[in-house]
Amino acid sequence: MNTAGHPEATARRGLELTPFRGLRYDPDRVGSLAAVTSPPYDVVVRPDGLHQLQSNDPYNIVRLILPQARTPAERNAQAARTLRDWLAEGILAADPEPGLYVYEQDDGAGLLQRGIIGTLLLSEPSEGVVLPHEDVMPHVVADRAALMRATSANLEPLLLTYRGNGSRSATTTVIERLAEQPPLLATTTEDGYRHRLWSITDPDEVSRIQSDLAQHQALIADGHHRWATYRRLRAEHPSPSPWDHGLVLLVDTARYPLRVRAIHRLLHGVPVAQALAPLEGLFRVSRLDVGLTEALDTLADAACAGNAFLLAGDGAFHLVDRPDPDLLSRTIPTDRPTAWRTLDATVLHATLLAHVWDIPEDDPARIAYIHDTAATVEKAERDGGTAVLMHPVREEVVRDLARQGVTMPRKSTSFGPKPASGLVLRALDV
């Protein structure tokens, strides 16, 4: 893990966002824009969610971001053929001129998120321009890199956040003025979110946004593996090249705060009784014969006092908390800040997975990472495994550690709402 500090004041430069010719679906050629969208690739619960998305529309974006075939090489080749076919048929078409895109998500219940989509100049972590806060799994980066090479495209934007000065910023002024105009597209997805998109092509407005963003650094909220993939592919192509930039959505969380949720774990082939057995004497374990909502409330209360987890999969919930201090002192590295050493994800990975359960954190045959709480429990009960439910980390903790250059254990957070995949893509050769 990188522990070098990256204070914002010492960043050599800020964010460099550039316009691009977005690829977008022709609404006259698909059933509906909602039917061709998908959550980000790592949020799709497979195989159930994958099959549902594929059946929504023959042109659903999931056929590009999660192609299905016997081998990885065949999957990537299939995605490349599909993209070429859709471009040739006019299913997807490039906008006539480069632009930045204003993207809005509204859940109709008080959550409104707006940001700017563009191509961001890639940077090294040491530059302190884009701050990661989680480790990545090498096999996932390799998988995404192979797909991007095959398609020569950025198929879905990363979600990055920065802290502007709210309504007074030039970027926010442009966003909110444009949001009063008719959008390029508008659709409502099955989850109830309304999505709207506008294009910014006026050179003066683009310049104002670029000057504003150049004063800021960003935190990767969602897309660590894709950011690592961008950087790997940039290293493979002599600069200057289109691979110097990657597709991102930038959100000013001073103006539009995000929600931070936990990402849960599913232990394959480990029944709950087997997961609980070695915890005796190391943690307090309490059986909760309640529903999911009440169990999560109990977890939240316990997490206020210290490390706490919920185990599920046998029809009940088991609160696991109050770890033995001697166990933590033996298993938690001491060369990182207290805020990192006391994270639930740190205790889970360094103590439970590595020491107690002996489960490799990057072995997809042994462990899965799932965003949806109910889906994690359902899969554990159906497959005979163990769901490990987590309590979310506060955004300020994430940002503070990132500014110190300290990465959290992989899949520690889920910022949202995440941008829907399929509304705007980027082809590197357009």
Which range has the top average pLDDT, 27-36, 50-59, 167-176, 380-389? 380-389
Residue 9 scores a pLDDT above 70: no
- Per-residue confidence (pLDDT) for residue 45, from 0 to 100: 67
Q: 387-403: per-residue pLDDT in tens?
A: 999 999 988 889 889 88
Name every residue whose Cβ is closer than 8 Å to that of residue 121 and which is 6 or more positions away in sequence. 16, 17, 18, 244, 245
Give the mean pLDDT of the chain: 93
Mean pLDDT of 22-37: 94
Residue 287 pairs with which residues in a beta bridge?
318
Determine whether 106 is exposed, middle or buried from the number of CB atoms within 10 Å of its CB (0-12, 13-18, 19+). middle
Secondary structure (H, E, C), the chain: CCCCCCCHHHCCCCCCEECECCEEECCCCCCCHHHHCECCCCCCCCCHHHHHHHHHCCCCCHHHHCCCCCCHHHHHHHHHHHHHHHHHHCCEEECCCCEEEEEEEECCCCCEEEEEEEEEECCCHHHCCEECCECCCHHHHHHHHHHHHHHCEECCCEEEEECCCHHHCHHHHHHHHHCCCCCCEEEECCCCCEEEEEEECCHHHHHHHHHHHCCCCEEEEECHHHHHHHHHHHHHCCCCCHHHEEEEEEEECCCCCCEEECCEEEECCCCHHHHHHHHECCEEEEEECCCHHHHHHHHHHHHHHCCEEEEECCCCEEEEECCCHHHHHHHCCCCCCHHHHCCHHHHHHHHHHHHHHCCCCCCCCCEEEECCHHHHHHHHHHHCCEEEECCCCCHHHHHHHHHCCCCECCCCCEEECCCCECCCEEECCC
pLDDT at res. 335: 92
Q: Percent of the chain beyond pLDDT 90? A: 80
Residue-wise pLDDT tens digits, 41-97: 888 867 778 888 888 899 999 999 999 999 999 999 999 999 999 999 999 999 999
Q: Tell me, what's the pLDDT at 165?
A: 78
pLDDT digits (tens, 9 = 90+) for 209-265: 999 999 999 999 999 999 999 999 999 999 999 999 999 999 999 999 988 889 999
Angle between helices 373-383 and 292-305 (to 10 degrees): 110
pLDDT of residue 430: 81
Buried b (16+ CB within 10 A) or exposed e, 274-301: ebbeebeebbeeeeeeeeeeebbebbee
Q: Please say if the pLDDT value at position 191 is more than 50.
A: yes
Q: Output the pLDDT for position 10.
A: 41
